[in-house]
């Protein structure tokens, strides 16, 4: 059973197009994330959602709009794609326990490799 | 702000030998968690091991152990009895308390590419 799934796995598109990446987790977690891994393999958080509520927006251009229809899904829509958006985008999820000092691991999806031509 | 530094861009090890991957961190948080992830060439991110800042014992998971030295702010990963399948990129990461504007945020290091030779 896939814990965190993303579609599509590969996405090749032209500059200026709009595209979406979907993410679903079946772990019952309450928090989901989007990370971006650039060409140098550096990973950086973009957004986090807790129970469908946006918690972190890490100075991402507003061309990127996450949407969480329910706590098992977190989609990423990107408008007016630019060459610099080419990267691997990872969705992740975890179960948070606020104030407990417990840090559960984040489970990552397989990644979506986005190539903007 | 949190910062993770991995100073070894690449490491080589002979099969069946042990190897240590370095990680140092900087944070003003009193409570935090440290993680190691493995990324093979296939691209997925695999969780390996976790250490809480208040844990007194070093974490171990099978062939993986975390050498946690709080005063030196280091959290090195030790892989014992290396196998060919251990060849991958390894990331050290940290996070602070859930809650607030950094809710759940993992901060990653630059990664270390490990190559295991037969």
The reported pLDDT for the residue numbered B99 is 59
Percent of chain B with pLDDT over 70: 94
Q: Which residue has the higher pLDDT, A77 or B2?
A: A77
Averaged pLDDT, B12-22: 98
Span A68-93, pLDDT tens digits:
999 999 999 999 999 999 999 999 99
Mutate to test the interface with A, among B47, B102, B106 (most CBs of A within 10 A): B106
Contact B23, B76 (CB under 8 A): yes
Averaged pLDDT, A4-28: 97
Residues of B in contact with A49 (CB under 8 A): none
Averaged pLDDT, B92-107: 77
At residue B14, does pLDDT exceed 90? yes
Q: How confident is the model at residue B118 (pLDDT cuts 50, 70, 90)?
A: very high
The reported pLDDT for the residue numbered A39 is 95
Partner-chain residue, chosen from B35, B43, B103, that has the shortest CB–CB distance to A105: B35
Q: How confident is the model at residue A57 (pLDDT cuts 50, 70, 90)?
A: confident
The answer to whether the Cβ–Cβ distance between A31 and B106 falls below 8 Å is no
- How far apart (Å, rounded) are the C-alpha atoms in residues A111 and A106? 14
The reported pLDDT for the residue numbered B103 is 66
- Judged by a CB distance cut-off of 8 A, whether residue A92 touches chain B is yes
The reported pLDDT for the residue numbered B66 is 97
Mutate to test the interface with B, among A4, A43, A49, A102 (most CBs of B within 10 A): A43
How many angstroms away from the CA of A66 is the closest CA of chain B? 16
Residue A84 φ then ψ, to 5°: -70, -10
Averaged pLDDT, B33-52: 96
- Judged by a CB distance cut-off of 8 A, whether residue A94 touches chain B is yes
Q: How confident is the model at residue B10 (pLDDT cuts 50, 70, 90)?
A: very high
Element containing residue A12 per DSSP (H, E): strand A10-13
Q: How confident is the model at residue B100 (pLDDT cuts 50, 70, 90)?
A: low
What DSSP assignment string belongs to A81-112? --GGG-EEEEEEEE---TTTT--PPPEE---E
Q: How many CB pairs under 8 A join A and B?
A: 82
């Amino acid at each position: 059973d896939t814990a965190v799934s993303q579609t599509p796995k590969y996405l090749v598109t032209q500059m200026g197009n709009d595209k979406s990446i979907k993410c679903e987790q079946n772990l019952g977690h309450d928090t989901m994330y989007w990370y971006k891994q650039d060409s140098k393999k550096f990973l950086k958080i973009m957004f986090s959602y807790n129970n469908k509520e946006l918690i972190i927006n890490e100075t991402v251009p507003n061309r990127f709009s996450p949407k969480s229809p329910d706590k098992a899904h977190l989609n990423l829509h990107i408008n007016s794609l630019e060459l610099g958006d080419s990267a691997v985008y990872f969705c992740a999820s975890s179960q948070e326990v606020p104030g407990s000092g417990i840090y559960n691991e984040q489970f990552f999806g397989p990644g979506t490799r986005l190539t903007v031509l | 702000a949190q910062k993770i530094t991995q100073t070894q861009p690449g490491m080589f090890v002979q099969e069946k030998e042990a190897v240590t991957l370095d990680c140092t961190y900087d944070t003003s948080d009193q409570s935090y968690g440290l993680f190691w992830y493995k990324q093979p060439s296939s691209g997925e991110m695999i969780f390996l091991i976790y250490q809480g800042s208040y844990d007194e014992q070093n974490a171990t998971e099978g062939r993986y152990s975390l050498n946690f030295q709080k005063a030196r702010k280091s959290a090195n990963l030790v892989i014992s009895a290396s196998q060919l399948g251990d060849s991958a990129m390894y990331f050290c990461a940290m996070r602070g308390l859930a809650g607030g504007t950094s809710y759940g945020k993992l901060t990653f290091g630059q990664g270390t590419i490990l190559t295991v030779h037969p």
